[in-house]
């Protein structure tokens, strides 16, 4: 279970462990005992938060116009695909525009 520093309390950690999950919550600065914490997992949490932030830019998703859950899920999937395609398209363009070593050598000669 990934959470922010605001959720660093013994009560919350115990509840997470009782449900069979492992809490990955950074310790507050005033905590005397520092529990185990994975920085790598915490960085991935940031990616997920940014994705949901981008997803909320789609008005239909943010305001939930759809009455049926199936229609709402379809809209979330469409918006997710659009975000993925936009990200994939920009990486493909960057790869194509990067000059290779062979093209640099031929330009020097």
Q: Which of 45-80 are b and which e, b meaning 16 or more Cβ less than 10 Å from the residue's Cβ?
A: eeeeeeeeeeeeebeebeeeeeeeeeeeeebbeebe
Which pLDDT score, from 0 to 100, does residue 99 have?
58
Q: 62 and 47 in one domain?
A: no
Q: 64 and 20 in one domain?
A: no
Q: For 46-63, how does the pLDDT look when each residue is reduced to its tens digit (9 = 90+)?
A: 888 899 899 999 888 888
Q: 71 and 94 in one domain?
A: yes
Q: 79 and 33 in one domain?
A: no
Q: 46 and 67 in one domain?
A: no
Q: 60 and 30 in one domain?
A: no
Which pLDDT score, from 0 to 100, does residue 38 have?
84
Stated pTM of the model = 0.56
Which pLDDT score, from 0 to 100, does residue 9 have?
86
Which pLDDT score, from 0 to 100, does residue 74 have?
93
More confident residue, 75 or 29: 75
Q: Into how many domains does the chain fold?
A: 2
Q: 22 and 2 in one domain?
A: yes
Average of pLDDT values for 76-98?
77
Instruction: Select from 78, 79, 75, 72 the least CA-distant residue to 57.
Output: 79
Which pLDDT score, from 0 to 100, does residue 2 have?
84
Choose the final residue of a domain: 51, 73, 88. Answer: 51
Q: 40 and 23 in one domain?
A: yes
Give the residue numbers spanning the domain of 10.
Answer: 1-51
What SS3 state is found at 2? strand
């Amino acid at each position: 279970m990934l959470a922010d520093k605001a959720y660093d309390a013994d009560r919350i950690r115990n509840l997470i462990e009782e449900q069979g999950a492992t809490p990955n919550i950074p310790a507050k600065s005033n905590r005397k005992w520092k529990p185990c914490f994975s920085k790598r997992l915490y960085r991935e949490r940031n990616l997920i938060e940014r994705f949901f932030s981008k997803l909320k830019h789609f008005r239909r998703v943010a305001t939930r116009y759809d009455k049926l859950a199936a229609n709402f899920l379809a809209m979330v999937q469409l918006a997710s695909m659009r975000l993925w395609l936009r990200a994939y398209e920009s990486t493909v363009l960057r790869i194509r525009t990067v000059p290779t070593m062979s093209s640099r050598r031929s330009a020097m000669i």
